[in-house]
Amino acid sequence: MSSKQPGGHPGPDGLAIETAGLVKTFGENRAVDGVDLTVPAGTVYGLLGPNGAGKTTTVKMLATLLRPDGGEAHVFGHDVVREADAVRTRVSLTGQYASVDEDLTGTENLVLLARLTGHGKKASYARAEQLLTAFGLAEAAGRQVKNYSGGMRRRIDIAASILNTPDLLFLDEPTTGLDPRSRNQVWDIVRAVVAQGTTVLLTTQYLDEADQLAARIAVIDKGRVIAEGTKGELKASVGAGSVHVRLRDAARREEAARLLGLALAAQVQLEPDPVALTARVGDGGRGAEEAAAEKASRALAELARAGIVVDNFSLGQPSLDEVFLALTDQPLDPHQDREEAEAAL
C-alpha cells in the first residue's frame, strides 16, 4: 500500500487521542463512564473489553459521530465537539457494521468513494486498483460485494476507510467472526497501515488480537477503564507467571488439579480443553520468577510420581484472558452470543 501523503501528524504533544473523564449516557445507562485515554501517535492502541463495555460508544464520540455528555476528548489536539470538522479531516472509521454498498462491485465502491472525496476519474480508478491488489481482492474486483466472503468483506471495508490515508483510523472489532486465516490477513493489513504512519485505535474482544497488534492496551469494562498499560505491564500486574499443563489423559485431570494446587499453593483452573489446566503462581514481586520456576518444577515432579503423563507444560506470563479474570473476577468471553451483542447496538 502506498499513500499520497505521509500520514500521522501528531498533536502538539505527540498524542493522537487524549480524553479526560469522557461520559456518554443513554437514559439511565452510563455507557461510557469517565474514560481517560492517552494514545500516542503512530501506534496501535487497543481498547479491549467484553460486549457492552462501551468500546463502540467511545469510538463514535472520538470520531465525532456521537456527542459526549461529559468530559473532554481531543484528537490531534482538536476538541471533538468544538472542532469537529478539523477532527473529521484527520480520521476514518471502519465500523463494526460497515458501510460499503452491497450491490456495487469492489472497484465501483472504491471508485465512488474516491470520487466523492474529490479525486479525478483516472486517479480514482488507479487508487481503487492499487488498494484492491494490496488487499488481495484483485480477482474479486468486478464482483458485487454481497457475494464476498466475510473476510473479503472486512478487507474491502478497511480498504474503503484508508482510501485517503487517514492520520487516525478507528477499527471497531475488525476481525469478529472471521476465520483464523482471514484474521491474519486483516492483522497484516493493520500492520501495513501503521507502517505508513497512521495511528490505529482498535477495539476488540479478542485478547490475542490486542496481544498481536497493540503497543498499549486499555481494558474497559462497564464504561470504565479498569487497567491500562503495555502488554507486559498488564501481565506483570497480575502475577509472576502462569503454569499451563496439558495431560495425556483427561480422566486424570481432577487428580492432577489437586496435586498441582497443593504443590503450587495456588488456585488451579480447569480449561475448556478437557486435558488442560492453568494455575497462577507468584505475586509479581522481586525474585518471583525464580520462585515460580522452582515451584513449577516441584509440581511437575509430583505429577510424575503419581503416574500422570504430561504432554505439554509451560511456565509463562499470564495471558490477557487471565489478566481480565484477575481484574474483574469475570472471564472475558469472546464467544458470547452475537445476537445479544447486536441487539445491544
Ligand X SMILES: Nc1ncnc2c1ncn2[C@@H]1O[C@H](COP(=O)(O)OP(=O)(O)OP(=O)(O)O)[C@@H](O)[C@H]1O
Question: Binding residues for ligand X, per CB under 6 A?
Answer: 26, 29, 31, 49, 51-57, 96, 205, 341, 344-345
Question: Cell 487516525 sits at which residue?
Answer: 168
Nearest distance in Å: CB 186, ligand X: 17
- Whichever of 98 and 276 has its CB closer to ligand X, that residue is 98
**What is the rounded distance in angstroms from the CA atom of residue 295 to the CA atom of residue 285?**
15
Nearest distance in Å: CB 307, ligand X: 45
Distances (CA, A) of 65 to 57, 87, 97, 237, 273: 9, 11, 14, 35, 42
φ/ψ region of 116 (left if φ > 0, alpha if ψ in -120 to 50, else beta) reads alpha
Residue 251's binding partner among Mg ion, ligand X, none (Cβ under 5 to 8 angstroms by kind) is: none
Q: Stretches 29-37, 56-64, 126-134, 332-340: which one binds Mg ion (CB under 5 A)? A: 56-64
Please count the residues of this chain forming the interface with Mg ion, following the rule CB under 5 A: 3
Nearest distance in Å: CB 96, Mg ion: 5
Nearest distance in Å: CB 240, ligand X: 31
- Whichever of 97 and 121 has its CB closer to ligand X, that residue is 97
Q: Which of 32, 33, 50, 56 is in the footprint of Mg ion by CB under 5 A?
A: 56
Q: Which three cell numbers stand for residue 21?
A: 473523564
Residue 51's binding partner among ligand X, Mg ion, none (Cβ under 5 to 8 angstroms by kind) is: ligand X
Task: Determine the length of the chain.
Answer: 345
Nearest distance in Å: CB 47, ligand X: 8
- Whichever of 35 and 111 has its CB closer to ligand X, that residue is 35
DSSP E strand boundaries for the chain: 15-26, 29-40, 44-48, 70-75, 78-79, 91-94, 168-172, 199-204, 216-221, 224-230, 241-247, 268-270, 276-281, 310-316
- Whichever of 56 and 182 has its CB closer to Mg ion, that residue is 56
- Whichever of 54 and 318 has its CB closer to ligand X, that residue is 54
Residues numbered 93 to 132 that lie near Mg ion (CB under 5 A) are 96
**What is the rounded distance in angstroms from the CA atom of residue 293 to the CA atom of residue 299?**
10
Residue 282's binding partner among ligand X, Mg ion, none (Cβ under 5 to 8 angstroms by kind) is: none
67: burial class by Cβ within 10 Å (0-12, 13-18, 19+)? exposed
What value, to the nearest 5°, has the Cα angle with vertex 260 and ends 256 and 262? Answer: 120
| In contact, 71 and 19? CB cutoff 8 Å | yes
- Whichever of 32 and 131 has its CB closer to Mg ion, that residue is 32
Nearest distance in Å: CB 38, ligand X: 20
Give residue 91's identity as a one-letter amino acid code. Answer: V
Positions touching Mg ion (CB under 5 A) are 55-56, 96
